[in-house]
Amino acid sequence: MRRNGVDVPDPGSGDLEAMRLGKGTDPKKLEAALHECRPWLQAGGKLPDLEDPKVRDRYVKFAQCMRENGVNLPDPGPDGRLRFPSGGIDEGAFEKAREACKAHLTVIRQ
């Protein structure tokens, strides 16, 4: 991804910002990088359509599940994006909640 202009941390770095793939990157640049890196991406490299009501519903359910599992994750914003908490979060608790809730996101692939 970095070779294609998208600044992302190394996998497994423990950096919760890694959940914000390409934060601050031009969406077209991000899409191009995802296309180039598709063979290496677990999810197939296609971003979900954040304007799709089904996708938003899944994100809301994911956020609710995270809260039920002890992580204060707000519902998606008006742009459809999830805002992950930064700083002051227990990474172990976050990973445990994410693991418990990941099924809400697995069907979003397009």
The domain locations on the chain are 1-47, 48-110
Section 19-45 average pLDDT: 67
Cβ pair 73, 66 in contact under 8 A: yes
Count the residues in the chain. 110
**pLDDT exceeds 60 at position 14:** no
Higher pLDDT, residue 101 or 20: 101
Q: What is the pTM of this model?
A: 0.57
Cβ pair 71, 85 in contact under 8 A: yes
The mean pLDDT of the chain is 76
